[in-house]
Amino acid sequence: MSERRRDLPGGQKWRRPHPLVELTRSRLLEFLREPEAVFWVFIFPVLLALALGIAFRSKPVDTLRVAVRTGVPAEARISAMLRGSAGLTVVELPADEADRALRTGKVDVVVEGVSVAAGANGEPLAVNYRYDTTRAEGRAARLAADDALQRALGRPDLLSARDERVALPGNRYIDFLIPGLVGLNLMGSGMWGLGFAVVQARVRKLLKRFAATPMRRSHYLLSFMLSRLVGLVLEVAVVVGFGWLLFGVAVHGSLLDLAVVSLLGALTFAGLGLLVAARPRTIEGVSGWMNLVQLPMWLFSGTFFSYERFPAAVQPAIRVLPLTALNDALRAVINDGTPLAANWPALLVMALWGGISFAVALRLFRWQ
Amino acid sequence: MMKTQPRTNTLASGGDTTPMAVRCTGLVKRYEDLVAVAGIDLGVQPGECFGLLGPNGAGKTTTVEILEGLTAPDEGSVEVLGYRWGTGHDHNLRERLGVQLQETQLAEKLTVGETLRLFASFFSRARPVEEVIRTVGLEDKRQARVGKLSGGQKQRLALACALVSDPELLFLDEPTTGLDPQARLNVWEVVEAFVEGGGTVLLTTHYMEEAERLCDRVAIMDHGTILSMDRPAALVASLGAEQIVQFEVHGDLDPAALGRLPGVGNVAGKQGSFRLGVRRMGEMMPALLSELERRGLVLESLTTHQATLEDVFVQLTGRALRDE
């Protein structure tokens, strides 16, 4: 580095600040002085976690709801037998109302008596179960209702069984959600934060002004990456801390591993953000590209629900998305406490996205 | 204020040991549907303040940005401080330049001090921030955010960002456009102090007062070409008239008849609206009035002023500089 000191008339030394430090500092100051940005990065994810955490909180399973159709044989008897079972809530409804209740999810199964010839035990009784076979509650209610009726009619229990309730922190929805929100937040603030800042500087001709100085262009882009490092500490801490305090979502792996994964994730999306912002000349232009790039990851990368639900054929494509890799790595550290080395494929996917994006962004970058 | 006289007006620097500050020949820049710069040759001597004067759209900004190495020309060659852009000297060259671009909006959320600190960090020979703040007179705005500054203060900050490199050569693109007279004067004083300290300036402007006050030499530009280039006084002298008389009459008047009046240097105008370059006002004015009376023409208005660069521009293009 060339001479960095200069004599002042008063004999003091003027020490030139380092450009990378100054660029990064400016980035952070600009960000922190932008209240909207602070909201989206720190407040929004917490509100999202709060709302989803409450909506999907783990609660004891409600009793299953059974409708007994009226106007068919043995309705009163069926009702009486079902009411004898503790886990069932029973209502009597005429046919059309029973179907409506089933359709709107007010009941889980409709039981209707069918008149048949007397059976072996002299019981002139058979039933139809009407329920949605794709709903877990429907299937459970059908089994419970059947069990209640069979027992009431005298079927003996051949096996003695005892229920043990399991609700371990770690397998609730909020446990699944928090790492996903950390990942989503790192993607959002990385891409939007950098993308907007870069394009705004381009629109305001500030990039051109910088290009007219001896500033190293890689320093400018690197300062964005570095500013993300500072930002990410806060972002990850806010969401993880919130999940821990309010919902008891524990980090099972080491905090160092969490830091490494978050760091890599932040750099990955900083690289992608720079790439998306490398060319557009307007804020509208960059917004469109940002949405285009992020939308598939919002949908497929398993932030709000597991991506295993998508067909097997598209799984390889989903797994190479950077947010999928980040979410997987975060869940492995936070939920499972898996050592970092076991996550190397996800880490490699992130490193490749980040590294290649940054290199390409540096080449494509439009300074004016 | 004392100004060093430029040594020559030629483009050749042969034999001279110090290279020209700026030298370009045959500069052409085309955009899709227009030719922004259509063959420009110019040379700026060290220590000189050189002005590109012309209306908006004349190609001044494109020319300056080519000289600054921000835009590549389609044709022609550029040498700045003895080096060509893109020959491995760009970084060192930029260390020695100060640049103020037209319409750069600095980050609004940063303060004056923070902005200058940032720019200072780019230059290995940067001046101390405090010193530059004093140079442009923004001492009491050091902690103010850029977004809160007035237009004149923003412009002085832009100037400070250009001066923080302690440049040998300063490029200023329309440094005072849109400023009130006081703010303009503040900027002029900073530029004058820089030139007095031995710096070289290349500026663009569409204000002829600015060119007349600051520039040792001026190139008048229109439609991407240089129409005329000389010292401001020499350009005005080239009009062959010290005073300009503009008048309107109701009725027909032959311009040739006006040219025969005593003391008139040149005549322009048509359909009752005329513009005379006048060498000797005392002789011309009575003659003009009696000529009008003789022809029975009614004078509707008459104004006169000292000839300026504006008149040179009108003379060269037939249009006014300002109303573009």
Residue B322: pLDDT band (50, 70, 90) is low
What's the pLDDT at B13? 44
Contacts of A22 in chain B (CB under 8 A): 117-118, 121
Contacts of A21 in chain B (CB under 8 A): 121
| B167 domain residue, yes or no | yes
**Closest CB to B70 among A2, A23, A368:** A368
Average pLDDT over residues B244-270: 85
Picking from B118, B130, B143, B163 by the largest number of A CB atoms within 10 A of its own CB, the best residue to mutate is B118
Q: Is the domain of B146 the same as that of B271? A: no
CATH number of residue B114's parent domain: 3.40.50.300
Asked if residue B168 has pLDDT above 60, the reply is: yes
Q: Residue B124 is which amino acid?
A: S
Q: Is the domain of B38 the same as that of B174? A: yes
Please give the share of chain A, as a percent, with pLDDT higher than 70: 90
What's the pLDDT at B156? 93
| B4 domain residue, yes or no | no
- Structure tokens, A26: 């400016």
| B294 domain residue, yes or no | yes
Roughly how many angstroms between the first and final C-alpha of chain A, as a whole number?
Answer: 28
Look at A206 and B68 and tell me if their CB atoms are within 8 Å: no
Asked if residue B118 has pLDDT above 90, the reply is: yes
How does the average pLDDT of chain A come out, rounded?
86
| B15 domain residue, yes or no | no
Asked if residue A15 has pLDDT above 80, the reply is: no
Q: Is the domain of B169 the same as that of B252? A: no
What's the pLDDT at A124? 60
Please give the share of chain B, as a percent, with pLDDT higher than 70: 94
Q: Which one-letter DSSP state was computed for residue B111?
A: B
d(C-alpha A232, C-alpha A266), whole Å: 7
Look at B121 and A8 and tell me if their CB atoms are within 8 Å: no
Residue that terminates a domain, selected from B185, B206, B231: B231
Q: pLDDT tens-digit profile of A235-290?
A: 899 889 988 888 888 888 899 999 999 999 999 999 999 999 999 999 999 999 99
Least confident segment among A124-138, A199-213, A294-308, B118-132:
A124-138
Residues of B with CB under 8 A from a CB of A: 68-70, 91-92, 94-95, 97, 99, 101, 103-107, 109-110, 114, 117-128, 131, 145, 161, 165
What's the pLDDT at B91? 93
Look at B124 and A2 and tell me if their CB atoms are within 8 Å: yes
Domain enclosing residue B159, as ranges = 22-231
Q: Is the domain of B181 the same as that of B289? A: no
Asked if residue A28 has pLDDT above 80, the reply is: yes
| B10 domain residue, yes or no | no
Task: Compare all CA atoms of chain A with the CA of B106 and give the residue at the minimum distance.
Answer: A206
User: Whose CA is closest to B190, among B141, B149, B137?
Assistant: B137
What's the pLDDT at A70? 87
Look at B94 and A18 and tell me if their CB atoms are within 8 Å: no
- C-alpha distance from B211 to closest chain A C-alpha (Å): 24
A window 9-68, beta carbon within 8 A of B = 14, 16-19, 21-23, 25-26, 29-30, 33-34
What's the pLDDT at B1? 42
Q: pLDDT tens-digit profile of A102-158?
A: 888 889 999 988 876 655 555 567 888 999 888 888 898 999 999 888 888 888 888
User: Whose CA is closest to A260, among A347, A175, A131?
Assistant: A347
**Closest CB to B109 among A19, A25, A29:** A29
Look at B126 and A6 and tell me if their CB atoms are within 8 Å: yes
Asked if residue A166 has pLDDT above 70, the reply is: no
- C-alpha distance from A198 to closest chain B C-alpha (Å): 12
Look at B121 and A23 and tell me if their CB atoms are within 8 Å: yes
Asked if residue B75 has pLDDT above 90, the reply is: yes
Q: Which residues pair with A112 in a beta bridge?
A: A128
- C-alpha distance from B121 to closest chain A C-alpha (Å): 5
What count of CB pairs under 8 Å joins A to B?
89
Q: Is the domain of B217 the same as that of B267? A: no
> Chain centroid to CA A227: how far?
24
Q: Is the domain of B293 the same as that of B203? A: no
Task: Compare all CA atoms of chain B with the CA of A200 and give the residue at the minimum distance.
Answer: B107
Furthest CA-CA distance within chain B: 74
Q: Where are the domains positioned within chain A?
A: 17-56+170-364, 64-152
Q: Are strands B273-278 and B243-250 parallel, antiparallel or unpaired?
A: antiparallel
Look at B70 and A212 and tell me if their CB atoms are within 8 Å: yes
- C-alpha distance from A205 to closest chain B C-alpha (Å): 5
Look at A16 and B120 and tell me if their CB atoms are within 8 Å: yes
Residue that terminates a domain, selected from B174, B200, B231: B231
Q: Is the domain of B102 the same as that of B195? A: yes
d(C-alpha B47, C-alpha A174), whole Å: 71
| B221 domain residue, yes or no | yes
d(C-alpha A346, C-alpha A343), whole Å: 6
d(C-alpha A67, C-alpha A93), whole Å: 6
User: Whose CA is closest to A263, among A290, A240, A236?
Assistant: A236
- C-alpha distance from A221 to closest chain B C-alpha (Å): 14
Task: Give domain A64-152's CATH architecture.
Answer: 3-Layer(aba) Sandwich (3.40)
Task: Compare all CA atoms of chain A with the CA of B131 and give the residue at the minimum distance.
Answer: A8
Q: In what order do the strands lie in the sheet with A109-115?
A: A88-93, A64-69, A109-115, A125-130
Count structural domains, chain B: 2
A window 132-151, beta carbon within 8 A of B = none
Task: Compare all CA atoms of chain B with the CA of A24 and give the residue at the minimum distance.
Answer: B118
User: Whose CA is closest to B128, among B85, B160, B154, B99?
Assistant: B160
CATH number of residue B294's parent domain: 3.30.70
Residue A57: pLDDT band (50, 70, 90) is low
Q: What is the ipTM of this complex?
A: 0.84
Distances in Å between the Cα of A174 and the Cα atoms of A55, A56, B76, B165 are 10, 7, 66, 55
Place of tokens 């001066």: B163
User: Whose CA is closest to A67, among A136, A147, A150, A142?
Assistant: A142
d(C-alpha A225, C-alpha A268), whole Å: 9
Helix (H) or strand (E) run with residue A353 in it: helix A344-364
Average pLDDT over residues A74-93: 86
* Contact of B251 with B298, CB cutoff 8 Å: yes
